[in-house]
Amino acid sequence: MSSERPPLRSLLFVPGTKTGWLAKAEAAGADAAILDLEDAVPPVGKSAARARVADAVANPTGGLALLVRINPLDGWAGAEDLRAVAHPHLTAVVLPKVHGPADVLLADRLLTWCEREHGLPDGHIALVPLLETAAALREAYQIARAAPRVAYLGAVTGKGGDVERAVGYRWSPSGAETLALRARVLLDARAAGVPCPVAGLWTDLADLDGLRAFAEQNRSLGYEGMVAIHPSHVPVINEVFSPSPEELARYQRLIAAMERARADGAGAIVFEGDMVDEAMAARARAALRTRTS
- The Cα 135–Cα 287 span in angstroms is 34
Residues 74 and 108 in one domain: yes
* pLDDT attached to residue 291: 62
Helix/strand/coil for 67: strand
* pLDDT attached to residue 272: 84
Indicate which CATH number applies to the domain containing 52.
3.20.20.60
What backbone torsions phi and psi does residue 74 show, to the nearest 5 degrees? -90, 5
**29 CB-contact burial (10 Å; exposed 0-12 / middle 13-18 / buried 19+):** middle
What DSSP letter does each residue of 135-151 carry, written as one string?
Answer: HHHHTHHHHHHS-TTB-
Residues 179 and 270 in one domain: no
Residues 199 and 125 in one domain: yes
Residues 259 and 122 in one domain: no
Question: C-alpha 89: how far from its chain's center?
Answer: 17
* pLDDT attached to residue 40: 86
Residues 226 and 251 in one domain: no
Residues 103 and 222 in one domain: yes
- How far CA 122 is from CA of 5, 58, 108, 109, 275, in Å, comes to 14, 19, 10, 10, 44
* pLDDT attached to residue 290: 66
* pLDDT attached to residue 2: 40
* pLDDT attached to residue 1: 37
CB 185 within 8 Å of CB 131: yes
Residues 268 and 231 in one domain: no
- Residue 256 structural domain: 245-292
CB 135 within 8 Å of CB 167: no
Helix/strand/coil for 31: coil
- How far CA 196 is from CA of 5, 57, 114, 128, 169, in Å, comes to 8, 22, 24, 11, 26
| Residue ranges, the chain, pLDDT below 70 | 1-3, 290-293
* pLDDT attached to residue 204: 94
Residues 105 and 250 in one domain: no
Residues 284 and 207 in one domain: no
Q: What's the domain count of the chain? A: 2
* pLDDT attached to residue 292: 52
Residues 202 and 61 in one domain: yes
Which is nearest to 36 in space by CA: 162, 21, 285, 28?
21
